[in-house]
Amino acid sequence: MIGLSPLRVDGREKVTGAARYGQDLKLAGMLYAKVKHAEYPHAEILKIDTARAKKIKGVAAVLTAADVPGNTAFGAVIVDNQPLAEDRVRYLGDAVAVVAAETAEIAEKAAAAIKVKYRELPAVFDPREALEPGAPEIHEGGNQINHHKTRKGDVAEGFRQADLVIERSYSTQRVDHTYIETEVVVASLDHDGTLTVEGSHQNIFSIRAAVASFLGLPLSRVRIVQAALGGSFGGKDDCMSVLSCRAGLLALKTGRPVMLSNSRESSLIESYKRHPYFLDYKVGVKRDGTLTAMEIKVVADGGAYASMTPFVTWRSVVHATGPYRVPNVKTDIYGAYTNNTYTGAFRGFGSPQITFAYESLMDEIAGELKLEPLEFRMNNILRDGEITATGQKLDHTVSVGQALQAATSAAGWEEKRRRFSEENRTRLLKRGIGLACSYRGVALGAEGVDATGAIVRIQSDGSIDLTTGLVEMGQGLKTVFSQIAAHELGVPVERVQYRRTDTSTIVDGGPTVASRSTIMGGAAVRKAAIAAREKLCAAAAGELGADPAELTAVGEKIMVASDPDRAIDFTGAVALALAAGMNLSSFAWHVSPPIWWDEEAGKGNAYFTYVYACQVAEIEVDPETGKINVLEVWAAHDVGKAINPEAVRGQICGGVATAIGYGTLEEVELVEGVTKTVNLDEYLIPTAMDVGKIHSIILENPDKYGPYGAKCIAEPTAELCAPAIANAVAHAAGKRIRDLPLNLERIVLGHKLVKKQRRAR
């Protein structure tokens, strides 16, 4: 089954409408919940008057932070996020009360009837200003969420060795995940007093921890079940903990099931976004194009709560110099609290921002030196056995050069760079071609312990149950995991039933993040399936007159590997095992290889392996209107081993589409903490007409740590196209845009003029 592309195991239910999403859940006696949002981005709560709301017919409960039986705040890193604001609101997405009623309309009416008296507090909306002395303090202890650094060599000496020192500043915007399905949960009490919360969950175990803490319950009395998920991209983590806490509280207080779902407007106002970054790069380079030093300072807008900011910015600091050989490095990245919508996990997790900066910068340096961008990169990229900016020696195949060559060759890079430059002298619509490359650490890395498990259960009829703690979000996890189990057991995928993810069926195996599913979860599935196969081989050995070590599972048979005619069918082997009293359920646990990080020194072996990629974008731009048309994208990604090539291509296409939106269209606009883009009529995402033709180029350099050599694909696909487009625009129109998105105003007017106009409004 490895390397094949069977039909998705969850495909039929999704295309026929049989899949049950959170909004499809209907329980007897179910109530509907709505929240009362804050009226100021920063204010002290003086009084909450719920009397009128409680008198409305059909209202079952109106609750505030005073009704919380457990801890009023949660957080994966810093405990600061309040599902119900206790004494202060810190952004307009905060909730001061939550209502449950017989209908959603009654709940909304009751929420509107709640009156809150505030004392408005000074607010800060620019993360750079938030870190200055005297800035309004959003949380006790100051506005710095975290500071990560890397140190390598001596940057002062590196700049002295340089023939040219270049300084550039870049910025990226706040964007929304824009999943088709907004956030929704249904909380209910089981007959034994267990609280079950089912909904559009991404990370079920972190949600369980938040709910148990909030409600003062032991983990064993909180069960989180994932419904079919209509998109997440990292977005349904903290905000799902918030919804689950609120709905769980209402269910406990009323004794009835409660549904809480966000409208699109509520989702855009309340749910966390991708971090806006402000990036300052200083680079030393010799005339021959050799990099000598990089000094980097980045400030990330964490918004009102820390969420994943410490982890997101840690990944950024590891990768801030890109896949390049830089002997002297000094990087400092800060996360800052503001009174903006808080920011957290988003596909790419800290890499899209810095990749935009360093890949724009590489083209700018090449231009200053009159070097071709591809040639300049090829002379500076990391290669096998070299040392990263964090001091890590790369002990695997470093394939960034292979990716660069594959993508540019397929795109016809040299010929188009030359031809477009000549044709643009007379063309009204200018053509351009640009590239970007990257490297990315796989799985959680040294930001946390990385381990996960899987259970394979062979049933008496030969069918197979597969359970893991990782979730299907549309990425094809169910299919790939089913392929791995089927491959090791020698049966078709159709025999395998992947059970939906449920905290009551398996131990905590960590979150479905960091593109860790295949390399970590797939390894656990493989181990569990091998253990189950070995039991069948042991049961069949006597019947076949062979040692168990001589047997293998192929073609729905257990056979002697050297003599395939000596075989017993799979179901017969199952019967033999059960007759011998064998347990055909196997649990396996997989732990990542050892890695380390010294926070104080700013160095270490940050990840146990890396992936490499290059994307080339061909675009057409109208310099009069600023309109960019993305014509074609060539995306070359080293995945180690493509377990399911069609799934890999799907991930590439999805990631490229996401990055095109990030690069050209998308921005959640906040003005002094107020969200101006509150629906999809103003928050624009790419349609099928906007993404052009995407060419997927799969590179395979098997990795010793991955199952069958597989590494990852999901997140690297989303971090490259925005800088590739920016470089293509510079080639086409001669305009270097250093701020995302590359919208009409920036292309035509320039960034500074746009900012002046916005201030005037």
Per-residue tokens: 581? 């009293």
Confidence class of residue 759 from pLDDT cuts 50, 70 and 90? Answer: very low
Any idea what DSSP says for residue 705? T
Per-residue tokens: 742? 């590359």
Query: Mean of the pLDDT values across residues 107-117?
Result: 98
Structure-token match 């349904």, residue found: 236
Per-residue tokens: 724? 């590739």
pLDDT of 751:
52
Express each pLDDT in 359-405 by its tens digit: 999 999 999 999 999 999 999 999 999 999 999 999 999 999 999 99
Rounded-to-integer distance, Cα 265 and Cα 642, Å: 39
Whether the pLDDT of residue 755 is over 60: the answer is no
> Who contacts 269 (Cβ-Cβ below 8 Å, separation ≥6)?
37, 92, 93, 341, 675, 678
Rounded-to-integer distance, Cα 629 and Cα 693, Å: 11
Q: Average model confidence (pLDDT) for the chain?
A: 96
pTM recorded for the entire structure: 0.96
277-445+599-760: CATH topology: Aldehyde Oxidoreductase; domain 4 (3.30.365)
> Who contacts 485 (Cβ-Cβ below 8 Å, separation ≥6)?
456, 464, 466, 496, 525, 526, 528, 529
Query: Mean of the pLDDT values across residues 555-560?
Result: 97
Q: Do 11-121+183-261 and 277-445+599-760 have matching folds? A: no
Strands 464-468 and 496-498: parallel
Rounded-to-integer distance, Cα 333 and Cα 389, Å: 14
Rounded-to-integer distance, Cα 17 and Cα 419, Å: 49
Strands 670-671 and 610-621: unpaired
What are the CA-CA distances from residue 34 to residues 27, 61, 262, 349 (Å)?
Answer: 18, 11, 8, 30
Residues 601, 429: contact at Cβ < 8 Å? Answer: no
User: What are the DSSP calls for 309-346, one per residue?
Assistant: HHHHHHHHHHHTT-SB--SSEEEEEEEEE-SSPPB---
CATH superfamily of this structure's domain 11-121+183-261: Aldehyde oxidase/xanthine dehydrogenase, a/b hammerhead (3.90.1170.50)
What are the CA-CA distances from residue 215 to residues 107, 231, 560 (Å)?
Answer: 22, 28, 56
Find the helix packing angle between 351-368 and 721-733, rounded to 10°. 30
Q: Which of 57, 69, 64 is nearest to 114 (CA)?
A: 64
pLDDT of 156:
98
Residues 138, 673: contact at Cβ < 8 Å? Answer: no
Whether the pLDDT of residue 303 is over 50: the answer is yes
Whether the pLDDT of residue 749 is over 90: the answer is no
Given 3.30.365.10, 1.10.10.10, 3.90.1150.10, 3.30.43.10, which CATH number is that of 451-591?
Answer: 3.30.365.10
Rounded-to-integer distance, Cα 121 and Cα 143, Å: 15
Domain residues of the chain, as ranges? 11-121+183-261, 277-445+599-760, 451-591
